[in-house]
Amino acid sequence: MYPEYMVAPIREDLTSAGFEQLMTPEEVEQALSTKEGTVLVAINSVCGCAASKARPALKMAVASADQKPDKMITVFAGMEADAVAKAREYMLPYPPSSPSIALFKDGELVHMIERYHIEGNELNRIVDNLKGAFEAYC
């Protein structure tokens, strides 16, 4: 776990863009057990690829997309371990990955972006990937 003063600005990077920070497994279950609408999930992290690509791509995609998810949530890897573990249960069969981004529609996982899609990719390609998923499913 990291000191909260270190992660507070990292949390705010997404919450200021409209993401709801979930802290408990119960909150995650409530958000992801819905069978109607779309939910975008960001597993946030302190790593460099989260700072330079994942969070900026999420914010850019949400800000510029014509179609957007109904709900946007985030959990923080390395902090709320139980909440992250619960979110990852919904992301199976994908292995744990931080950062990562998942889109659910009507309770089903329909799009997944793993860390290796983020760290080795250009920012605009990640944005386009997200916007394409929004157009297809939202």
Q: Are 89 and 32 in contact, with CB atoms under 8 Å apart?
A: no
Q: Are 127 and 57 in contact, with CB atoms under 8 Å apart?
A: yes
What tokens appear for 61 in the block? 């995609």
Residue 127 identity (one-letter amino acid): V
What does the DSSP 8-state code read for residue 95? Answer: P
Q: 75, 70, 79, 72: which is closest to 88 by C-alpha?
A: 75
Q: Which of the residues 49, 65, 109, 110 is marked catalytic?
A: 49
Lookup result for tokens 């996982």 = 109
Q: Which of the residues 17, 46, 47, 51 is marked catalytic?
A: 47
Interatomic CA distance for residues 81 and 128, integer angstroms: 30
Q: 137, 27, 126, 130: which is closest to 74 by C-alpha?
A: 27
Active site residue 138: no
User: Active-site residue numbers?
Assistant: 47, 49
